[in-house]
Amino acid sequence: MSERHRYQAEIQQLLDIVIHSLYTDRDIFVRELVSNAADACEKLRFLQSSGTAPFQPETALAISVKTDDKANTITITDTGIGMTNGDLVENLGTIAHSGTKAFLKQLAETQKPDARLIGQFGVGFYSAFMVAAKVTVLSRSHKPDEQGWRWTSENAGGYEIEPAADLPRGTQVIVQLKDDAKDFAQEAHVKRIVQRYSSFIQFPIELNGTRLNTIQAIWSRSKNEITDADYNSFYQYVGHDHEDPLLRLHFTADAPLAIQALVFVPKSNWENMGLGRTEPGVNLYCKKVLIQDHAKNLFPEWLRFLKGVVDSEDLPLNISRETMQDTALLKKLNQVLTGRFLKFLDETAEKDAALYEKFYAEYARCLKEGVATDFAHREALGKLLRYESSTTEKGKLTSLADYVKRMPSDQKEIFYLLAPNREAAEGSPYYEVFQSRGYEVLFLQDPWDEFVMEHLHEFDKKPLRAAEKAELDVTTPPAVEGALSDADAESLAKWLKEKLADRVGAVRASKRLVNSPAVVVDADRMMTSSMRRILKAVQKDKEAGPEARQDLEINLRHAIIVRLAKMRETDEPLAVKVAEQVLDNARVAAGLLDDPRAMLKRLNELLEQVLTVKG
């Protein structure tokens, strides 16, 4: 008696794309099915190592691939963990993981979906439908009191499951090939594909009865006997990627822990493509036995983009995956691995700046997340940050270390200024004082970056300081005729405060301005105007608290301020309008003016008056 099942909607969508629009890189389905067979064997080996007795314990763990050019099939068989009826429904018909759902949603929405990422998102099995007219899965679970099942699917609509008698332990996937995919029933064609990955598989694998691999874990071999091509194939196998990796680190350590690690950075950061959050991609082994795939906590969250393998013989082999999560040993391992990887990045930046730039373009966000969340590695991460600055050419980045090297001896702090782009930064009133002193300023463009600077706090013992918080004076103020005296300034400031009332905090003379008449400065020592802006956006729906007031600083040498001081006596109503406009202009420069419409009305009135006087 067979049961009919429908696929979950997302899987149906995926299959429609896989079946109807994927004609390139079809080879990957072989890799995906072989990798599932290897996973199934790894899982059984792990169960055995922790004392569970499987069905048919005498059957050795192995994988076989068979091509049949008469029947037009390719069949992948393993003696691994197998699946029960429930497992089949759950594993080959539904998906739970949210990252996968995001991936599938994006696939369904984009014009040219790149379904080659399919293995990456834990749905590699379905790649078989690129070439299949029909897929049959025969499976017998390792659980002694279970039975065998036959799962069949001919299209994206659904699948059937029925009992199958006398199956040996494990799983057999029979792919009945479509007419345009007959290549995969040819031994020579399949051999080329399987051979690429066979040497990374920890179990014997044979093709049509001929053994293809000798088993030796690539990460335990010495570096000088491994070619780039070997490394790249291994990466594609563990990373389920169709491209070569961007970076790789292969290292061995004896103390404080015995570690063999081979980790890779993919060319692209999937998260930048809106594909949801990446799952950790490094598998944890102990003496070549897989303890946990996609191991959580092996690396910190912000390194979740890494793919590869870590093998440590210091781990207890029979440890359960659950207790694995929090052991002190794992924490130690995490620390050592993270430290080593950061050192590697630093060395890469040193040796090959262009390569590091590529890495940074893809993964800067992850490093910044590290600064904000990982106190232990903050300093090392600080060295890896790169920003545009007033000294770099447009579009070029500098490290903080190079910035420090360029600091004149009287400069005590590292300054940064957030602006949407370089032009806005250079034109900002907050930048004037730095330009006059010849101090370099980092130009941040991502609102995140201010928080990153806050968390980093200092670099090379130099405090990091927001430009608008810097307490600096313009070195040699240009002598301007008619500049306000201290007494005039004081009386003007008092008048401004009176007229602008609760729209400003304090009003005072500024020492930081050259070309601008005024700036607003947040009275809070820590808060910058962009933080204020973000806070405002976040709190929009909450009960409105008291509006934060900025202090107004005025430039005593600026013509507008000088003339404004006089106009108080000749035409006070007009002077008030100008004062209000000066404040709003300063707010615009700080990015803090929410609704420019009130300001426009006033500006029009001012223009009208100007034209009356001149006309």
Where do contacts with ligand ADP occur on this chain (CB under 6 A)? 32, 36-37, 39-40, 78, 80-81, 83, 91-92, 122-125, 171
* Residue 243: CB minimum distance to Mg ion, A: 18
Alpha-carbon gap, residue 319 to 321, rounded angstroms: 6
Judged by beta carbon distances under 5 to 8 A according to partner kind, the member of Mg ion, ligand ADP, none in contact with residue 429 is none
Q: How many CB atoms lie within 10 A of CB 116?
A: 17
Alpha-carbon gap, residue 359 to 168, rounded angstroms: 48
Six token digits for residue 507 = 């009003």
Judged by beta carbon distances under 5 to 8 A according to partner kind, the member of ligand ADP, Mg ion, none in contact with residue 590 is none
Alpha-carbon gap, residue 529 to 285, rounded angstroms: 49
**One character per residue 81-120, x = contact with Mg ion (rule: CB under 5 A):** ----------------------------------------
Judged by beta carbon distances under 5 to 8 A according to partner kind, the member of ligand ADP, Mg ion, none in contact with residue 194 is none
* Residue 347: CB minimum distance to Mg ion, A: 34
Of 293 and 454, CB closest to Mg ion:
293
Pick one of 99, 113, 124, 281: the residue that binds Mg ion (CB under 5 A). 124
* Residue 430: CB minimum distance to ligand ADP, A: 50
Is there binding between residue 36 and Mg ion (CB under 5 A)? Answer: yes
Long-range contacts from 222-225, C-beta under 8 angstroms, 24+ separation: 223/250
Of 80 and 429, CB closest to ligand ADP:
80
Alpha-carbon gap, residue 571 to 430, rounded angstroms: 31
**One character per residue 439-458, x = contact with Mg ion (rule: CB under 5 A):** --------------------
Is there binding between residue 517 and Mg ion (CB under 5 A)? Answer: no
Q: What's the order of all strands across the beta sheet hosting 441-444?
A: 398-399, 386-389, 441-444, 414-418, 462-466, 458-459
Alpha-carbon gap, residue 447 to 47, rounded angstroms: 48
- The dihedral sign for the CA sequence 415, 419, 425, 429: negative
Stretch that binds Mg ion, among 28-36, 485-493, 525-533, 594-602 (CB under 5 A): 28-36
The closest alpha carbon to 338, from 285, 418, 282, belongs to 282
* Residue 191: CB minimum distance to ligand ADP, A: 20
Count residues binding Mg ion (CB under 5 A).
2
Is there binding between residue 239 and Mg ion (CB under 5 A)? Answer: no
What radius of gyration do the chain's Cα atoms show? 33
* Residue 240: CB minimum distance to ligand ADP, A: 8
Of 59 and 391, CB closest to ligand ADP:
59
Percentages of the chain per state (helix, strand, coil), in multiples of 5 = 45, 20, 35
* Residue 200: CB minimum distance to Mg ion, A: 14
Write down the number of H helices and E strands in the chain. 19, 23
Judged by beta carbon distances under 5 to 8 A according to partner kind, the member of ligand ADP, Mg ion, none in contact with residue 37 is ligand ADP
Six token digits for residue 82 = 């197998």
* Residue 153: CB minimum distance to Mg ion, A: 16
Is there binding between residue 281 and Mg ion (CB under 5 A)? Answer: no
Of 37 and 507, CB closest to ligand ADP:
37
Alpha-carbon gap, residue 379 to 5, rounded angstroms: 54
| Positions in the binding site for Mg ion (CB under 5 A) | 36, 124
